[in-house]
Structure 1
Amino acid sequence: MRLILVRHPQPLVATGVCYGRSDLAVSEDQLARTLTALSAALPHGLPVYSSPLQRCTRLAAELAPLLQSPAPLLDARIAEIDFGDWEMRAWDDIPRADIDAWAADLVNYHPGGGESVLQMAGRIAAFYADLQRQQRDAIIICHAGAMRLLSACHTGLAPAGMALQAARHPHQIGYGATLILQSQTAGQ
């Protein structure tokens, strides 16, 4: 099974703003550039899964026909983390004590009263398990957080280990970037 993870294009949001589950648009230029790069690089005919947030669904809806793939399948389990009342606030405006509390418990803390990384890891693990049962290649359009957790899940970690690994390592995943997860099949 080969999973091709794709990060959405850059959303329309100011630098330094906390956003996770916020449903942000992307510019037409960013979308066009990302579509051009991906349509030339990705295999055709694979199922396309997408986070239901518009920065992903716009890309998925326009990419699937270019790849001669079926209509995208939206799955809320691969949406980005919910930062609660931190959403759409400048990181600099979030009280330092709250940031420190999150840093002290990266796995279980609920930033802004929203979702913990462990909760997100649980839904990502359930999505991954469903894909494994299907045993077919797929393209997954999602978010940097989901990509990091899917990658950790692919190594065999349980949700707590996934959350810890993803939370401890800052991501270097660019907008529109891909990450390929390849599973060994029997006999290889």
Structure 2
Amino acid sequence: MTSFVLHLMRHGAPVRAGLMLGRTDDDVIPSGIAACLAQAADLDCDRLISSDLRRARRCAEAIGTPVIDPRWRELDFGDWDGRATSDVDSAALGRFWDDPDAFPPPAGERWSALRTRVGAALAALPPAPTLVVTHGGPMRAATAELCGLDLAATWALDLPYAAVLSLRVWEGAPRRAQLTSLRA
């Protein structure tokens, strides 16, 4: 069965780290770009893809010439976007973390919508070594889609800025993968 390597990299630290940055198009700090460059140095990839949001796109552009794909954007946090978690109603935030499909952020995106768009992006990947520079949410959604992880296991993934998840992806419908490494 044919397989390929897929590397998913979280963008470097944004200018306003620590906020719920979904569709908010914040920039990345220079050391965040440098961290992504260091992580990508030994990755052998034929294809480079990036979210269209600046904090991911600028990191990818430092690595090479990416194909920009908005399906790799972060989850839309709606009314919570750009806010610190301490500024969000704790009960509402707790319901979201427990069940992000039933309790999405107000005017935000459901977990299932994120999984659907990331699933479409995964299905469109050619079977070639690929690096995708994206965000924590899409990395978790891709891992859930490819590895069959449940929500608790998906949320348990610690994905600091510039982290790289590497997966061996097997062709088929649907595609399946094995997590081969996580570098933080």
TM bin, normalised by shorter chain, reads 0.7 to 0.9
Greater helix fraction, Structure 1 or Structure 2: 1
Given candidates 12, 16, 19, the residue that maps to 2:15 is: 12
Structure 1, unaligned runs of 5 or more: 65-70
Residue 12 of structure 2: SS of its match in structure 1?
A: coil
CA displacement at 1:104 relative to structure 2:
5.0
Change in Cα spacing, 1:166 to 1:140, as seen in structure 2 (3 Å) is farther
Aligned residues: 169
Q: Is residue 166 of structure 2 the alignment partner of residue 172 of structure 1?
A: no
Please say if residues 21 and 87 of structure 1, whose CA atoms lie closer than 8 Å, have aligned partners that are also in contact.
yes
Which runs of 4 or more aligned residues in structure 1 lie more than 3 Å from their structure 2 counterparts after TM superposition? none
Corresponding residue for residue 178 of structure 2: none
Q: How does 1:38-187 map to 2 (within 5 A)?
A: 38-43=39-44, 46-64=46-64, 71-103=65-97, 105-131=99-125, 134-155=126-147, 157=148, 164-165=150-151, 169-184=155-170
CA distance in 1, matches of 2:135, 2:40: 19
Of the two, which has the highest radius of gyration?
1
CA distance in 2, matches of 1:11, 1:3: 24
Q: Percent sequence identity over matched residues?
A: 31
Residue 140 of structure 1: SS of its match in structure 2?
A: strand
CA displacement at 1:138 relative to structure 2:
0.8
Please say if residues 11 and 24 of structure 1, whose CA atoms lie closer than 8 Å, have aligned partners that are also in contact.
yes
CA distance in 1, matches of 2:20, 2:12: 17
Structure 2, unaligned runs of 5 or more: 173-184
CA displacement at 1:102 relative to structure 2:
2.1
Over the aligned positions, Cα root-mean-square deviation in angstroms equals 2.2
Please say if residues 11 and 26 of structure 1, whose CA atoms lie closer than 8 Å, have aligned partners that are also in contact.
yes
Q: Deviations over 1:145-172 (max 9, x none)?
A: 11111112112x4xxxx6x526862331
CA displacement at 1:53 relative to structure 2:
0.6
Q: Structure 1 counterpart of 2:50, which letter?
A: S
Q: Deviations over 1:54-73 (max 9, x none)?
A: 11110111101xxxxxx211
Please say if residues 119 and 142 of structure 2, whose CA atoms lie closer than 8 Å, have aligned partners that are also in contact.
yes
CA distance in 2, matches of 1:172, 1:104: 17
Q: Structure 1 counterpart of 2:87, which letter?
A: D
With normalisation by structure 1, the TM-score equals: 0.80
